Amino acid sequence: MTMPQRPESSTAPGSAGTAPAQQAAQQANAPAQQPSTLPVRPGLEGFEPYGAPQLALPVLLNVNENPHPPSNAVVADIAAAVAEAAHGLNRYPDREFLDLRRDLADYLHVESGIDVLPPEQIWAANGSNEVMLHLLQAFGGPGRTVLSFAPTYSMYPEYARDTLTGWVAGRREDDFTLDVDHALAQLAEHRPAVVLLASPNNPTGTALPLATIEAIADAAATSGPPGPDGGPTASVVVVDEAYAEFRRTGTPSALTLLDRYPHLAVSRTMSKAFGLAGARVGYLAADRAVVDVLRVVRLPYHLSAVTQAVARAALRHRGALMSQVATLRDERDALVEWLRGQGLTVADSDANFVLFGPFDNRDAVWQGLVERGVLIRVVGPPGWLRVSIGTGEEMAAFRTALQEVLGL
């Protein structure tokens, strides 16, 4: 609809030109402006933005955050690093951020016992969410498929949707493990460009045995979509290790498989173990050929100078931060034992959260906890609830509230 044009001679009320009363009459008689129909991309209609419900309650155990804020020493180091970076904010940041990539490679060497990777085999972005988006921008797209196994992280199908990639979800077993034969059958049937394997899995906390990842990676070497010449390609196998630092003793990382599988990528985040959810830093390790394709699809200068400075400062304090992780692991294991002692079923967890249940009416249990000042998450299979691991005081409040709600 054509907008009514304002006469060039009209002026502000109270000055020479059209009188205010006449202007009001003209506006009253003007046809009503019809709302425009936006050309929303097909497939986005009716969707709500992703996000867990947030309520202002004393105990927040719903989004798997690290409950410990950075120490004064970490804050001071970050502040100094950001101040130094601020002197150069008139310039674009280092778009290859090789110094940060070297620091991350050194951290993975210490944390997982792998050889130090060259920085060209490390990638980083604004949270592991952006890392995943880069992967699907690079290897997914129209006519291609990403495969995962449900229940799993609820953002995975949204990454597929946003990159116009087909989404296929195989199944996990009743104990949330992954049946290898089923996984290989899904690979053969769907020929996915990307396979997403969360380990530990969200929302269940389940870690995958290395033998399972190896079997999938072996089959994935030729299970991808047809190449330009019609020949076979690999499926890119992405092991999402966002919670890997919380894994139990003896649970290895998929990082130990990188040198055997050029189509394997292992993603991590600094949001959880490092307590940097507000900084938004995710990263992955992979063959250089994988990383180089991610460099093609990233936006220019996607990782700000401030983000790089914050991440490098935090990595300098990894020893102190890892001691917090050990405390949270102990809290998790104690909670698993306590919940089972209350007669509840609890999934084995290698993460900083616990899935427990099942309940005939999990919404009522959730509401009862909310009324007692404790917020957890309604997520995962029907009947189950997920609680993040907090401080000792927060876990005590959760136990007391749950006993009251369940009448235990």
Give residue-wise pLDDT tens across range 43-97.
Answer: 888 888 887 778 999 999 999 999 999 999 999 999 999 999 999 999 999 999 9
Q: Is the pLDDT of residue 349 over 50?
A: yes
The larger pLDDT score, comparing residue 310 to residue 36, is at 310
Using the structure block, give the residue that is written with the tokens 């996607």. 302
Give the pLDDT of residue 408.
84
What band does 12 get if pLDDT is binned at 50, 70 and 90?
very low
CATH class of the domain comprising 83-316? alpha beta
Please give the angle made by the CA atoms of 283, 387 and 126, to the nearest 5 degrees. 20
Look at residue 20 and tell me whether its pLDDT is greater than 50: no
The answer for residues whose C-beta is within 8 angstroms of residue 225's C-beta and 6 or more apart is 143, 144, 145, 191, 192, 193, 233
Q: What H or E segment, with its residue span, contains residue 156?
A: helix 156-162
> What is the model's pLDDT at position 11?
37
For the segment 248-263, the average pLDDT, to the nearest whole number, is 96
Q: Are 128 and 269 in contact (CB under 8 A)?
A: yes
Mean pLDDT of the chain: 92
Instruction: For residue 127, name the pLDDT band (cuts at 50, 70, 90).
Output: very high
How many CB atoms are located within 10 Å of the residue 199 CB? 26
| Residues 310-321 pLDDT 10s | 999 999 999 888
What are the structural domain ranges in the chain?
59-68+320-406, 83-316
Nearby residues of 74 by Cβ (< 8 Å), 6 or more positions away: 313, 314, 317, 320, 321
Distances (CA, A) of 100 to 169, 205, 265, 282, 304: 35, 29, 18, 12, 12
Per-residue b or e along 352-367, where b marks 16 or more CB atoms closer than 10 Å to that residue's CB: bbbbbbebeebeebbe
Decide if pLDDT at 5 tops 50: no
Which of 32-46, 120-134, 142-156, 393-407 has the least mean pLDDT?
32-46
Structure tokens at 346: 């609890």
Beta bridge partners of 266: 239, 285
CATH no., domain 59-68+320-406: 3.90.1150.10
| 236-240/345-346 β-pairing | unpaired
Would the pLDDT of 307 be above 80?
A: yes
